């Protein structure tokens, strides 16, 4: 497995985010706008991420392979003031699928969330048809909590089924990764 690191997103990553996020297979199963707009990455970083990061509401990281290749994005969103329940999200550029990169990036993000950032639980709403994404979180110890029809995301029809996965700090402590931080 190649070593990967998470780096806070700045404008230096805008071009690579723009290139990889514009792929139809990335916007299809994420909350990203579809089709991905021209200048979408720069506008997101400047107008959404930076103010929300300054307010403690959202953090996003570039997933970087040891040879410097930009692989994708993972991060935390909808962070409440009490940090009780935080959304985790992620995508990997299509050319890099199937190498374990999402699992390793999310493992590092989960460790950061619970060991450093003081979050109490993480959750992810995932399209039921997106089995690869569910598998990523299952491998990290997340549990399936509920299944519901979409009323949350305007970009998907109300006939789409979503599944919600969750992991608490307490559950993370019992995982191999969490036990190294106890």
Ligand X SMILES: CC(C)(COP(=O)(O)OP(=O)(O)OC[C@H]1O[C@@H](n2cnc3c(N)ncnc32)[C@H](O)[C@@H]1OP(=O)(O)O)[C@@H](O)C(=O)NCCC(=O)NCCS
Q: Figure out which of the listed residues 48, 69, 97, 177 binds ligand X, where binding follows CB under 6 A.
A: 97
175 touches ligand X by CB under 6 A = no
59/76 Cα distance (integer angstroms) = 5
Site for ligand X contains 98 (CB under 6 A) = yes
Closest to ligand X by CB, 119 vs 142, is: 142
Task: Determine which residue in the list 63, 136, 162, 167 makes contact with ligand X, applying CB under 6 A.
Answer: 136
CB 76 within 8 A of CB 118: no
- Rounded to the nearest angstrom, the gap between the alpha carbon of residue 136 and the centroid of all alpha carbons in its chain is 11
Report the distance separating Cα 86 and Cα 83, nearest Å: 7
* Binding-residue pattern over the window 106 to 125 for ligand X, x denoting contact by CB under 6 A: ------------------x-
C-beta closer to ligand X: residue 83 or 99: 99
Comparing CA positions, the residue from 132, 87, 142, 137 lying closest to residue 113 is: 87
Query: Taking CB under 6 A as the rule, does residue 60 contact ligand X?
Result: no
Q: Cα dist. 65→5, 76, 108, 118 in Å?
A: 7, 20, 13, 26
CA distance 153 to 139: 26
Distance of closest approach, residue 54 Cβ to ligand X, in angstroms: 25
Please answer whether residues 144 and 161 qualify as being in contact, where contact means their C-beta atoms are separated by less than 8 angstroms: no
Q: Which of 13, 61, 70, 101 binds ligand X (CB under 6 A)?
A: 101
Q: Does residue 99 touch ligand X according to CB under 6 A?
A: yes
Binding region for ligand X (CB under 6 A): 25-26, 29-30, 90-92, 97-103, 124, 126, 130-133, 135-136
């Amino acid at each position: 497995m190649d070593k990967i690191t998470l780096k806070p997103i700045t404008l230096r990553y805008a071009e690579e985010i723009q290139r990889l996020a514009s792929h139809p297979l990335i916007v299809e199963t994420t909350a990203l706008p579809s089709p991905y707009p021209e200048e979408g990455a720069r506008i997101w970083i400047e107008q959404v991420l930076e103010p929300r990061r300054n307010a403690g509401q959202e953090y996003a990281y570039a997933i970087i392979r040891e040879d410097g290749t930009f692989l994708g994005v993972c991060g935390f969103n909808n962070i409440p003031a009490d940090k009780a329940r935080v959304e985790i999200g992620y995508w990997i550029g299509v050319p890099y699928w199937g190498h374990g990169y999402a699992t390793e990036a999310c493992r590092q993000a989960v460790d950061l969330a619970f060991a450093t950032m003081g979050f109490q639980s993480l959750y992810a709403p995932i399209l039921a048809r997106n089995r690869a994404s569910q598998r990523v979180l299952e491998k990290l110890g997340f549990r399936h909590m509920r299944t519901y029809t979409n009323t949350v995301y305007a970009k998907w029809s109300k006939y789409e089924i979503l599944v919600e996965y969750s992991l608490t700090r307490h559950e993370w402590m019992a995982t191999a990764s969490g036990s190294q931080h106890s």
